[in-house]
């Protein structure tokens, strides 16, 4: 571990945080992060609570293993998202219970499976896309993942769980936790009338807030 670089250490730290916060169980969940020209992934068959920075899978951009143990069988998900969104550098995939439960519901809108119940969901998750069912590790769904990732950095795999990308692993985890929390609110409010944010309110959150001028200071023109 002492010889691991910053990217590998971040994978270990975030993997342990996901496990500690109950967002993964058993040996489920996986992470990926860009490290220069390479992509680091959590290995297959390892609990996120036991991931070690010095024992990660190292792949090239095409998915060829360069070093380390065999990667998670969900590597195609991570590679598809990172290939589609070059401005993003990290992907987190979990089977967190509320988001996974949401993915099992019938009648969900593929383009908006979860309403914007809070401002933080709108800001950190934004558009959420629901993908059709894919068997774990089924890389034949790569094109579907790429198409959805082009529209949103947050995806929900039907009967499976969330896949969320960010500029770094901390940002991806923040968004994933917000998605999980909003899914929990969705179930807590089931059977009650809710008031999701309007499209206008969601759009306003994308604008910087107007700051009042400091007392005694003339506002800039």
DSSP state of 152: -
Q: Give the chain's end-to-end CA distance (angstroms, integer).
A: 54
Query: What pLDDT shows up at residue 206?
Result: 83
Q: Give the DSSP H or E segment for 163.
A: strand 161-166
| Span 36-45, pLDDT tens digits | 999 999 999 9
Q: CA angle, corner 135, sides to 131 and 140, nearest 5?
A: 75
Transcribe 141-153 into DSSP letters: GHHHHHHHHHH-S
* Residue 103 contacts residue 158 (beta carbons within 8 Å): yes
Q: What share of the chain is helix, strand, coil (3-state, %, to 5)?
A: 40, 15, 45
* Residue 41 contacts residue 78 (beta carbons within 8 Å): yes
- For the cut 80, the answer to whether the pLDDT of residue 64 exceeds it is yes
Which residue's entry shows tokens 């990667």?
Answer: 71
Going by pLDDT thresholds of 50, 70 and 90, the confidence category of residue 221 is very low
* Residue 41 contacts residue 48 (beta carbons within 8 Å): no
- For the cut 60, the answer to whether the pLDDT of residue 6 exceeds it is yes
Query: What pLDDT shows up at residue 211?
Result: 54
pTM reported for the whole predicted model: 0.91
Query: What pLDDT shows up at residue 210?
Result: 56
Query: What pLDDT shows up at residue 214?
Result: 57
Rounded to whole angstroms, the Cα distance separating 148 from 26 reads: 28
Going by pLDDT thresholds of 50, 70 and 90, the confidence category of residue 85 is very high
**What are the structural domains of the chain?**
6-189+196-204 (3.40.225.10)
Average pLDDT in the chain? 93
- The average pLDDT across 108-125 equals 97
Rounded to whole angstroms, the Cα distance separating 12 from 50 reads: 8
Both structure tokens of 132: 């059709």
- The average pLDDT across 90-115 equals 97
Active site residues: 74, 120
Sheet containing 38-41, strands listed edge to edge, beginning at the edge strand earlier in sequence: 65-67, 57-59, 38-41, 30-35, 90-93, 161-166, 154-157, 128-131
Query: What pLDDT shows up at residue 207?
Result: 72
| Span 140-187, pLDDT tens digits | 999 999 999 999 999 999 999 999 999 999 999 999 999 999 999 999
Query: What pLDDT shows up at residue 2?
Result: 41
The proportion of the chain whose per-residue pLDDT surpasses 90, expressed as a percent, equals 90
Query: What pLDDT shows up at residue 4?
Result: 83
Going by pLDDT thresholds of 50, 70 and 90, the confidence category of residue 208 is low
Query: What pLDDT shows up at residue 71?
Result: 97
């Amino acid at each position: 571990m002492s010889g691991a670089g910053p990217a590998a250490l971040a994978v270990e730290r975030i993997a342990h945080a996901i496990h500690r916060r109950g967002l993964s169980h058993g040996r489920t969940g996986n992470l990926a992060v860009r490290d220069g020209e390479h992509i680091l992934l959590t290995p297959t068959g390892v609990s996120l609570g036991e991931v070690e920075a010095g024992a990660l899978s190292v792949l090239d951009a095409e998915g060829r293993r360069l070093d380390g143990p065999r990667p998670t069988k969900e590597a195609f998900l991570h590679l598809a998202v990172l290939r589609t969104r070059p401005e993003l550098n990290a992907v987190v995939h979990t089977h967190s219970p509320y988001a996974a439960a949401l993915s099992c519901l019938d009648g969900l809108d593929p383009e908006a499976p979860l309403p914007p119940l809070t401002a933080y969901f709108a800001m950190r998750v934004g558009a959420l896309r629901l993908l059709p069912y894919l068997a774990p590790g089924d890389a034949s769904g790569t094109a579907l993942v790429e198409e959805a990732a082009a529209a949103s950095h947050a995806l929900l795999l039907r009967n499976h769980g969330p896949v969320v990308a960010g500029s770094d692993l901390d940002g991806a985890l923040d968004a994933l936790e917000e998605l999980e929390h909003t899914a929990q609110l969705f179930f807590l409010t089931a059977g009650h009338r809710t008031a999701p944010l309007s499209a206008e309110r969601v759009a306003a959150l994308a604008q910087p807030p107007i700051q009042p001028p400091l007392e005694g200071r003339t506002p800039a023109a």
